[in-house]
Amino acid sequence: MSSNRQEQAKLIEKLSKRKDKDGMCHFHKPEIEKLLSMYNMYAGDKPHKKLERIKFRDILHNSFGMTDDMLMDRVFRAFDQDNDGYVNHDEWVMGLSVFLKGVLEEKTKYSFSVYDLNQDGFISREEMFQLLKNSLVKQPSEEDPDEGVKDLVEICLKKMDHDHDSRVSYADWETSILEEPLLLEAFGVCLPTPQKTKTFLNLISDEYAKKF
């Protein structure tokens, strides 16, 4: 076995057993092997392969149908756990583990990290406004086209701000999601649809494909 294959085998073994404060790997070894092959293809032929932001955004758009620039950037940052501006192979596998197969607790943490734009541990009114401002169809007759967005922000706060401090903490967010899991994507599409999930998993898992 070549040194490269030995290194890959060790990496697959390590990732398959990964379990830490942020969650566990939900992929089997054959799936991880295929994900690493994808990663190598996307990262390009470089000595130290790392997935760049632009390429990652292409994957989100082409494979998962995402179109919102801000949210694609935030998803990239959620995957890039060490904040070095790249997604390495560990971050790729573990990020997709949550993205595609995560349990509710993992997806709750992930979605909060996406929506907490300045990473201060809260989703503020201003952040909600930024995330929601493109979600409403603006009518030409509206005097203040942002008024509807502001109203929507207030509705969200009324629903989620359990401690009434005019912002959503992680505790507020977790409580809200437990009460209504559909709120996971309250501020924009940050997870793939079931159909997109199925399509992607079919690429890496014969076992999954047989279920459909």
Q: Which single residue is written with the structure tokens 């509807």? A: 148
**What does the pLDDT read at residue 34?**
94
Same-domain pairing of 97 and 20: yes
Given its phi and psi angles, is residue 28 left (phi above 0), alpha (psi -120 to 50 degrees) or beta? beta
Q: Check pLDDT > 80 for residue 75.
A: yes
> Are residues 172 and 148 part of one domain?
yes
- Distances from the Cα of 164 to the Cα of 109, 111, 118, 174, 190, angstroms: 21, 21, 21, 15, 26
| Tokens 């207030």 -> residue | 154
Which tokens in the block code for residue 97?
Answer: 């583990």
203, pLDDT greater than 80: yes
Query: Looking at the structure, do residues 98 and 125 belong to the same domain, yes or no?
Result: no
At 137-169, the pLDDT tens digits run 565 555 677 888 999 999 999 999 999 999 999
> What per-residue confidence (pLDDT) applies to 211?
44
pLDDT attached to residue 208:
46
Q: Do 30 and 74 lie in a common domain?
A: yes
Global pTM reads: 0.88
Tokens 């912002």 belong to residue: 167
pLDDT band at 24 (very low <50, low <70, confident <90, very high): confident
Mean pLDDT of 14-32: 85
Instruction: Give mean pLDDT, residues 47-71.
Output: 91
- Same domain as 12, residue 94: yes
- 31 φ/ψ angles, rounded to the nearest 5 degrees: -70, -40
Co-location of 13 and 92 in the same domain: yes
Element (H, E) at 99: helix 89-101
Percent of the chain clearing pLDDT 70 (strictly above) = 87
Number of domains in the chain: 2
Query: Is 101 in contact with 27 (CB distance < 8 Å)?
Result: yes
Mean pLDDT (the chain) is: 89
Question: Do residues 76 and 56 both lie within one domain?
Answer: yes
Query: Looking at the structure, do residues 79 and 33 belong to the same domain, yes or no?
Result: yes
Instruction: Show the domain range for 148.
Output: 106-185
The confidence score (pLDDT) of residue 79 equals 96
Is the domain of 75 the same as that of 41? yes
| Whether 149 and 127 share a structural domain | yes
Residue 113: closest CA among 68, 155, 77, 153: 77
Domain CATH number, residue 112: 1.10.238.10
| Residue 47: band (very low, low, confident or very high) from pLDDT cuts 50, 70, 90 | low
Residue 94 near residue 17 (C-beta atoms within 8 A): no
Per-residue pLDDT band at 125 (split at 50, 70, 90): very high
Same domain, 111 and 133: yes
Query: Do 9 and 97 share a domain, yes or no?
Result: yes
63 burial (CB, 10 Å; 0-12 / 13-18 / 19+) is middle
